[in-house]
Structure 1
Amino acid sequence: MASQFGLLLRQWRQRAGLSQEALAQRAAVGIRTVRGLETGERTDPRMGTVRALADALELTGAERVELFSAAGRDEPLVVEPVRFDPLHEAVETLKVAVEARWRREEEQRQVHDPVPLPVRWDEAPATWMDSRLNIGADAVLGGRLDQVVEVYRRVGSRRLVVLGRAGAGKTVLTTRFVLDLLGARNPADPVPVIFHLGAWHPGRLGLRDWLAGQLTRDHPFLAAPGPGGGTLAAALVDSQRVLPVLDGFDEIAAGLHRPALNALNTTTLPLLLTSRVDEYRDAVEGTDVLTSAATVVLADLTCDDLADYLPRTTRKTGPGGNAWKPVLDEVRNGGPLAEVLTTPLMVALARRIYSDTPDHDPIALLDFHEPEQIERHLLGSFIPAVYGAHAERVQPWLSHLAVHLTRLGTHDVAWWRFGTSSAVTGLTVGVAVGVADLVLEAVLVGGLVARGVAFAVMIGLVTGVLFGVAHRYVVSRTPIEPVRTRLRLRGRAGRRVWSRGLLGLAFGGAVGAAYGLVRAMAYWLVTPGFEMTAGVLVDVGVFGLVFGFGAGMVFAVVAAMEAPLDVRSAGSPDGLLAANRRAVLGLVGVMVPVFAVFVAGATGVVASGLTALRFVVVWSPTTALALGLVGGIGGGLAYVLSLTAWGQWVVFARIWLPLTGKLPWGMPAFLDDAYRRGVLRRAGAVYQFRHARLQEHFARLP
């Protein structure tokens, strides 16, 4: 039988995510020693062995004392110099950001107005969870909202699954768990971070890599290099300084729940997981339980809960001085309302519609005789109650958002994912470049001429096609994501400088060759007697080389100046959007002058060479600089609109979708207003509908 020392050693090894072999290697002891200590075959470990194991497991002071005590020894006091931990600052900054974010969200959702709804849970059936020996929990795991951290800490494995039906209060529980755990956190404890699992595809990305990616999305400063060569986010995940709170196992795409559960079982990460009951039960029956995880099920609200809550949300009076009395009486009689008003979601909707709206009386709920009718009524009345006279105008926009998210298979309203149409992108790029070229030609030449108009039309067409194709190619390989960098003078050069430079050389060469050809064709169309001779091929080659090397140099300079976004770059949707706008505009601010000066100088050198070879060349510094400006501004516009997240936001959210009436012109104000009204919630750098049931409701509307 395993000794107390062996049980502690195994528990802390699993918490660290280490196999017996990995622990032995890290502690520089034999694998047979670790195995023997865990099974109880060896009961008298040496002092050096215990110290090596404690160091390898990175135990806290109290945990070291407990381990040495279980070994029947006292660890000698050793004063060691304080070591600088490169991840400490990142952990503390992350803690502050997470705590501030979820405290604001809790206030926004009126969780404490006037008091929180009671959220309670009971232990799940034994078939839905691992054995108590693996879990390390002796007591029954029932509890209520203010005990969630206490119940979690009763679980020795630090792995807990919270199940509940739609609207049962899982999101409220995860928020309170994070805030309570941060309030009672020791410096050595991991930072709890909520991750919405609906965006995870277990077949494409491992859990740890996905967690690191989500961290950098919501906290861009964690994209900075970490001590191990990866990012700070990856280092925090690998060193278990982040406690994953995985919300919405049920929201993973259909058919992926079993692979997701298998992937979770390949790790021993401490975690808290939430899910609807049916999806988790089916995954467990098809695979296995979540290893070493305790499981609880959220309980329904009772009539006493409603009687203690609903009358406190309003000053309206009714029969007996309480506007909610007829409804509460119906609930006590066991009618359809008793079946509906059992989840915090439905109660919150009823409160918003009838307590917070002056001209609505909750007695109207008695007109419905089926639970489904009541739920549809509450979901359908929510927007009119929130928006009042503007509901009819706003509802189609919310419906489009819901349908769009359903098509994408996500719950995240990400500002950089409002569309990926290469046709729309190419059309927008072509119009923008053509108009920009027309304006520049008029300013630089002193007026519009036939050749300039023809060139603007043709270069717009060609650029639109080229960048539309480039957009389609890029999106087919990987989605366009927001940049996580800013430009500064002391960036880090490296391999990315060469790779970006080669990319710019290839793409700039193609654009330059097309530019030279279109320029010759514009002359041919409007200039009598102009002939398409071999000199046109020389122009095409020259422009291809000059534009290619110019674009390559610009891309290399930008890559050398890139640095991670600083801590002050907020992970909110508005903050990330503003950071990307600054980054993209800064990119263009560098690109245009560098490209223009290079083109002016390079064409001068080429012109001198061609003149020496007895070619007839017409060149002047002013014309060359104008050419560089036209190419730089046109190329910059095309690149931004087709190949950056902020550019795609401009194309779809600010131009195309408002133009077609599917979304409003003032998209940022609309999203922020929906958030303040409680229709949307913020989940890091994205918005989400307040609840998945609301998204499902709007997606079904015509």
Structure 2
Amino acid sequence: EAEARARRLADPYPLPVSWRGADADLAEVTAGPAGRDGEIGAVFADRVPGRRLLVPGAPGSGKTLLLVRLLLALIENRTAGDPVPVLFPLASWDPTAVDLRAWMERKLVQDHAELGAAAPGEYGDATLAGMLLERRRVLPVLDGFDELPPEMGGLALHLITEAWPYGCGLVLSSRPAEYRAALRPRTGVPARLTGMAGIHLEPLGADDVADYLLRGAGGHGAPAATRWAPVVAVLGTDAPVARALGSPLMVSLARTVYNPRPGEVEGELPDPAELLRCPARRAVESHLLDAFVDAAYRPRRERPCPWTPGQARHALRFLARHMERGADGAAEVAWWKLGQAVPGALPQVLAGVLLGVLGWLVEGAIMEVIQLFAPQVPSPTRWEERGGLGVVAAGICGGLAGGLAAGMAITLLCVAAVAPDVPAALVLHRLADGGSLALVGVIISGFAFGSRTAVRRPADWDWRLPVTGCAAAICYALCFGNACGTVSALLYGLMAAAVGRDGVGADPACPVARVRWHWSPRGVSRGLLGGLLLGGSILMEGLLADVLSGGDARMYIAPADPVAAGWAALQVGAVFAVACLLVNGLRTVPVDLGVCVEGRALLANDRRTLGTCVLTAAVLGAVVIGTQGWCATVWGSTGVWGGAATEGRHWAYAVGLVPSLLTGLAIGIRQSAWSRYAVARGYLALRAKVPFDLMAFLADAHEHHGVLRRTGAVYQFRHIELQHRLAGPDLRP
């Protein structure tokens, strides 16, 4: 009933669709003589053996309209024990990814959340939806077989036959050409639905079309109805408009475009006579499809719309093209897939800038707070030296691109902090830190992800990584006038090329449900090994400090004293080891799209999961890193990361909060679909592709304008022909 209301099937009354027996090459049994309209329920009950019916028909011939009427008739006449008919639009089914039974179970739970509960114990781990399908308590009404990609037709038909074999009730609609192609695949054994009866939909009669359009305009003699006189005069002839209006889809579009709604004046609407100027049937159909969106978004006094018809058409055209070009072939709009419309490196760069700026601000703010409450700190906060941990977090989240973007952002902030007197050494110093610490983030990703840490052969290296290490080493040498920092930068470049993992990888397949712990002895070992190797480079710098500096008293990377160098290496190694362990251990669990039925709920839950990552990492990291820093100030006589040793050693925990907080944010951004959606929404809104509040636009197009339909958390165009038309002739299948 909801689908019938959304399609305005009873406005002003259901179109009378008629049919004849299907061609013998499509169905094994013809479903009796010709019939029409409400007889479909009786035909299915009395003339369809095995309750298996094929409904082929041309585009817009009323297949879905007839299926909805059949479904309502079956429900009305259903007796106890009969299966429940359920409409399943096939456009969102990917036969290469999931079998038909599992997909139907997911769709049932999407539309009826209570069916996601566990079935009785004797059915094992099945849901109520799975139990109903297993016991054949559902009569599937599969609509839109032709909307599947053409190359998948043969496979889809095989999977339908496998899931719903002979003896099980089934209704399937399709265009004849696509169904014939599936019956005769180019490769493999052809599949065929055994025992299927068939009816073929006929064009609408001229009298039926005239009565329907005139009734929708207020009835014979009404001012709005008289506007149809030139069109009605040619119905039943060979005129292009007459042949086009033989399709129920085109008639319903014509009613929407030219007939007034309550409160509208017919003088404000286009004249139906303009259809007579179209030279061919295809031109009439294109004209009605083009005019439909403008008509659906006509201003309404009772409910103002925040989007003009032009804005809506522009956004819907972009969405249609995005769906036609979708990487997974699914003709649906899902907010978590919108990131596919954004240049690949943009999310990484933006995440890098965000983490870099936050790292600079948080590090500096923590140092200011420590200085305020611990006046024994010997020197003031140097804002031009902050932000290194933000680069590491950006490298974890966005790979080399994200880390370098963070480094550039921090360099600009540091230059602004000392402007107008900006020494060249400061710029070189910050650029060197940016390249070196970006590589650290890439290394941490390599140790944290994957089943094992594999060492690549030089032939498989990403040579951007060692080149970045060399560039950082050169900047260090130019900055200090010696070799300080060059050892660690070169080692980081080689290590990143050998074991690192650059970038986020593939976008999340779906939103996340929650965060879970993913600890394993192998993962812990890899995390400790990563921290040991990264800390070892600091120790090597310290042991070679006198040699590398050429006797210069200024040290940057590590102190020359062996004991102090050891504690500094332990401190840095602990920070990076904790980062490795957090990245490895905090894993997100993808949400079951068959359980959650609303896109806004998925979006809010994904945001909450990102917050959980940040909070968990901040608490655990601050405790571990803070304890190690406290020990360093007690026994090592060295400063905690970013600060000097103080008598108030509890401030080590505040300092430990900085890397853990940034690492948690990097983990959350890396694994959440919401972060990519936020980037995509902003990027597309700035380019005027879609409204900024995209979720509200989609819901409005579904609820108030009838352009989209919602299935679970995704949206589809209510008419696939409308999607193809908006996508453009060059993209039409």
What's the TM-score once normalised by structure 2's chain length? 0.68
Q: Secondary structure of the residue that 2:297 maps to in structure 1? A: helix
Q: Secondary structure of the residue that 2:622 maps to in structure 1? A: helix
1:417 maps to which residue?
Answer: 337
The alpha-carbon deviation at position 239 of structure 1 amounts to 3.1
2:13 maps to which residue?
Answer: 115
Q: Secondary structure of the residue that 1:208 maps to in structure 2? A: helix
d(CA) in 2 for partners of 1:629, 1:223: 42
Alignment CA distance shift 1:140-1:394 (3 Å): same
1:292 maps to which residue?
Answer: 195
Question: Do residues 146 (structure 1) and 38 (structure 2) align?
Answer: yes
Q: Secondary structure of the residue that 1:392 maps to in structure 2? A: helix
Provide Cα deviations, 1:465-486, integer angstroms capped at 9, x if missing partner: 2797989999977851134x46
Alignment CA distance shift 1:353-1:563 (3 Å): closer
Counterpart selection for 1:345 from 238, 242, 249: 249
1:23 maps to which residue?
Answer: none
The alpha-carbon deviation at position 213 of structure 1 amounts to 4.0
1:684 maps to which residue?
Answer: 712
1:386 maps to which residue?
Answer: 296
Which AA in structure 1 matches 2:333?
Answer: V
8 Å CA contact 1:592, 1:629 repeated in 2: no
Which AA in structure 2 matches 1:353?
Answer: V
Alignment CA distance shift 1:300-1:507 (3 Å): farther
Counterpart selection for 1:465 from 377, 399, 409: 399
The alpha-carbon deviation at position 275 of structure 1 amounts to 0.6
1:426 maps to which residue?
Answer: 348
Larger radius of gyration: 2
Provide Cα deviations, 1:4-34, integer angstroms capped at 9, x if missing partner: xxxxxxxxxxxxxxxxxxxxxxxxxxxxxxx
Counterpart selection for 2:656 from 622, 627, 643: 627
d(CA) in 2 for partners of 1:217, 1:475: 30
Alignment CA distance shift 1:301-1:310 (3 Å): same
Question: Do residues 199 (structure 1) and 199 (structure 2) align?
Answer: no
Which AA in structure 1 matches 2:214?
Answer: P
The alpha-carbon deviation at position 424 of structure 1 amounts to 2.3
d(CA) in 1 for partners of 2:133, 2:698: 31
Larger deviation: 343-352 or 192-201? 192-201
Q: Secondary structure of the residue that 2:332 maps to in structure 1? A: coil
8 Å CA contact 2:93, 2:148 repeated in 1: yes
Q: Secondary structure of the residue that 1:681 maps to in structure 2? A: strand
The alpha-carbon deviation at position 347 of structure 1 amounts to 0.7
Question: Do residues 450 (structure 1) and 384 (structure 2) align?
Answer: yes
The alpha-carbon deviation at position 256 of structure 1 amounts to 1.7
* Paired positions, count: 569
d(CA) in 1 for partners of 2:278, 2:99: 47
Which AA in structure 1 matches 2:143?
Answer: D
Q: Superposition pairs for residues 118-133 of structure 1, below 5 Å? A: 118-131=16-29
d(CA) in 1 for partners of 2:510, 2:290: 34
8 Å CA contact 2:518, 2:585 repeated in 1: no
The alpha-carbon deviation at position 283 of structure 1 amounts to 2.3
Question: Do residues 251 (structure 1) and 147 (structure 2) align?
Answer: yes
d(CA) in 2 for partners of 1:519, 1:142: 86
d(CA) in 2 for partners of 1:668, 1:212: 26
Question: Do residues 599 (structure 1) and 599 (structure 2) align?
Answer: no
Cα RMSD for the two superposed structures: 4.1
d(CA) in 1 for partners of 2:352, 2:693: 24
Which AA in structure 2 matches 1:673?
Answer: D
Question: Do residues 359 (structure 1) and 269 (structure 2) align?
Answer: yes
1:264 maps to which residue?
Answer: 160
Which AA in structure 2 matches 1:451?
Answer: E
Q: Secondary structure of the residue that 2:150 maps to in structure 1? A: coil
8 Å CA contact 1:513, 1:543 repeated in 2: no
2:52 maps to which residue?
Answer: 159
Which AA in structure 2 matches 1:539?
Answer: Q
Q: Superposition pairs for residues 628-647 of structure 1, below 5 Å? A: 628=657, 631-632=660-661, 634-647=662-675
d(CA) in 2 for partners of 1:312, 1:621: 81
8 Å CA contact 1:196, 1:248 repeated in 2: yes
The alpha-carbon deviation at position 564 of structure 1 amounts to 7.7
1:331 maps to which residue?
Answer: 235
Which AA in structure 2 matches 1:530?
Answer: Y
Q: Superposition pairs for residues 51-66 of structure 1, below 5 Å? A: none
d(CA) in 1 for partners of 2:557, 2:505: 41
Counterpart selection for 2:511 from 482, 485, 489: 482
Q: Superposition pairs for residues 4-403 of structure 1, below 5 Å? A: 103-131=1-29, 140=32, 142-154=34-46, 155-186=48-79, 188-216=81-109, 226=119, 227-267=123-163, 268=165, 269-286=168-185, 287-315=190-218, 322-356=226-260, 358-388=268-298, 390-403=308-321
Question: Do residues 671 (structure 1) and 698 (structure 2) align?
Answer: yes
The alpha-carbon deviation at position 348 of structure 1 amounts to 1.2
Alignment CA distance shift 1:120-1:239 (3 Å): same
Q: Secondary structure of the residue that 1:243 maps to in structure 2? A: strand
The alpha-carbon deviation at position 644 of structure 1 amounts to 2.6
Which AA in structure 2 matches 1:323?
Answer: R
Alignment CA distance shift 1:683-1:508 (3 Å): farther
8 Å CA contact 2:110, 2:593 repeated in 1: no
8 Å CA contact 1:190, 1:240 repeated in 2: yes
The alpha-carbon deviation at position 369 of structure 1 amounts to 2.8
Q: Secondary structure of the residue that 1:195 maps to in structure 2? A: strand
- List runs of 5+ in structure 1 lacking aligned partners: 1-102, 133-138, 488-496
Provide Cα deviations, 1:283-321, integer angstroms capped at 9, x if missing partner: 234535311221211121110111221001114968997
Larger deviation: 499-508 or 207-216? 499-508
Which AA in structure 2 matches 1:464?
Answer: G
The alpha-carbon deviation at position 516 of structure 1 amounts to 8.0
d(CA) in 2 for partners of 1:187, 1:509: 64
8 Å CA contact 1:504, 1:554 repeated in 2: no
Q: Secondary structure of the residue that 1:410 maps to in structure 2? A: coil
d(CA) in 1 for partners of 2:388, 2:18: 72
Alignment CA distance shift 1:326-1:503 (3 Å): farther
The alpha-carbon deviation at position 452 of structure 1 amounts to 2.0
d(CA) in 2 for partners of 1:510, 1:144: 75
1:441 maps to which residue?
Answer: 363
Alignment CA distance shift 1:127-1:692 (3 Å): same
Provide Cα deviations, 1:321-376, integer angstroms capped at 9, x if missing partner: 72212211111333222210011111111111111363312122122232122122
1:4 maps to which residue?
Answer: none
Larger deviation: 535-544 or 676-685? 535-544
Larger deviation: 592-601 or 107-116? 592-601
Q: Superposition pairs for residues 487-636 of structure 1, below 5 Å? A: 499=518, 529-532=555-558, 535=566, 537-550=569-582, 554-555=586-587, 571=597, 575=598, 577-607=599-629, 616=638, 618=640, 620-628=649-657, 631-632=660-661, 634-636=662-664
Q: Secondary structure of the residue that 1:266 maps to in structure 2? A: helix
Q: Secondary structure of the residue that 1:418 maps to in structure 2? A: helix
d(CA) in 2 for partners of 1:234, 1:664: 39
d(CA) in 1 for partners of 2:533, 2:272: 68
Which AA in structure 1 matches 2:134?
Answer: D
Q: Secondary structure of the residue that 2:577 maps to in structure 1? A: helix
Which AA in structure 2 matches 1:631?
Answer: S
2:722 maps to which residue?
Answer: 694
Question: Do residues 404 (structure 1) and 314 (structure 2) align?
Answer: no
The alpha-carbon deviation at position 118 of structure 1 amounts to 1.3
Which AA in structure 2 matches 1:628?
Answer: L
Alignment CA distance shift 1:270-1:435 (3 Å): farther
d(CA) in 1 for partners of 2:576, 2:716: 46
Alignment CA distance shift 1:400-1:206 (3 Å): same
d(CA) in 1 for partners of 2:712, 2:617: 37
Provide Cα deviations, 1:449-471, integer angstroms capped at 9, x if missing partner: 11224554564355322797989
- List runs of 5+ in structure 2 lacking aligned partners: 261-265, 300-307, 370-381, 403-441, 450-500, 546-552, 560-564
Q: Secondary structure of the residue that 2:207 maps to in structure 1? A: helix
